[in-house]
Amino acid sequence: MHAAPLSLSKIHGASVIRQEAEGLLQLASGLDDDFDRAVTQIVATRGRVIVAGMGKSGHIGRKIAATLSATGSPAFFVHPAEASHGDMGLLKPIDTMLILSNSGATAELRPLVAYAKRLSTPIIAIASEMDSILMREADFRIALPRIDEACPELIAPTTSTTMMLALGDALAIAAMRARGISRAELIQWHPGGSIGGRMLPVDSLLRRTEALPLVTRKTGMRDVVLEMTSTGKGVAGVVDDEGNLIGIITDGDLRRSFERMLIATAGEIMTHGPKTVESGTVVEDALRLMTDAKITAVFVMRKDDPKKPMGVLHIHDIAAA
């Protein structure tokens, strides 16, 4: 069979992506010492990184400011036109300006650049024209490759803004690594959404008033099945006389031992050495354990006595949260 021909829209779309990808490749291979110096300046900034840009560069600047702040370099965006009507008062000598302009000649940026120069606030400039006003005034100059926009009329900012976005990410992540920002710090800056949910302790998903599905070695399988279904977790833990968890019985164990169901006891059917997590384990780590082990439920053990279970976490509990 012959493959279906690509539609004109797919051809145009693929062309745009290839054009922008080529810009990114040239950008990556062309980073020079000014990129290193810009990263050093961002890390050394005692105030904030003030990001500015007009039009599409401004939209990219807002995202860069957010990424800088989320990775340990406090930053915010200022609109150049608003800056000329009073917002320049937020700029301090201890700050660093990060200004984006493909041409480097955006008129609305000139008052902001002039004011930063009067304050001796360092300026990092990102533009494609090295001989532009912005690049001449900047302390750190990061040049964008001279590559056409993906727009067929060479008007709509496309390739240039993609390169700006990637360069902003590169600056932010390089500064984050230079600062030695830890995973724990990143997590505390992302308490909401799916990231925050993954970083919750498993304890927060446990129902403290719910009885645990526990049986002893000698419990008959009829009672084991009743215990497994009573909580809806699909598992039963097997404990010794001291209440220590020594095994687990799952739906899979029941199927594998179906012929012995009427005569067997929990101790004969159970899986020894079940996978467990300690109280305080974050949801992401518990989920990784369950995924790697191909299991749907795990017992959560007490921190002060790791042999004793305090709850059961089912994969459905994580999905619901």
What's the CATH fold of domain 8-185? Answer: Rossmann fold (3.40.50)
Q: Is it true that 8-185 and 202-320 share their CATH fold?
A: no
Q: Which of 104, 106, 98, 95 is nearest to 167 (CA)?
A: 98
pLDDT at 63: 97
Rounded Cα distance, 106 and 108, in Å: 6
Helix (H) or strand (E) holding 108: none
Q: What is the mean pLDDT of each run of 10 residues along the chain (321 residues)?
A: 71 90 94 96 96 95 95 93 82 96 92 94 96 96 92 85 96 94 70 64 79 90 87 88 93 84 86 91 88 90 91 82 62
What's the CATH fold of domain 202-320? Answer: CBS-domain (3.10.580)
List of residues 6+ apart from 277 with CB closer than 8 A: 202, 285, 286, 289, 298, 299, 300, 301, 313
Rounded Cα distance, 202 and 313, in Å: 7
- Which pair of structure tokens corresponds to residue 105? 């000649």
- Which pair of structure tokens corresponds to residue 155? 């008007």
Distances (CA, A) of 95 to 75, 91, 175, 182, 184: 9, 7, 15, 24, 26
pLDDT at 319: 74
What are the residue ranges spanned by the domains of the chain?
A: 8-185, 202-320
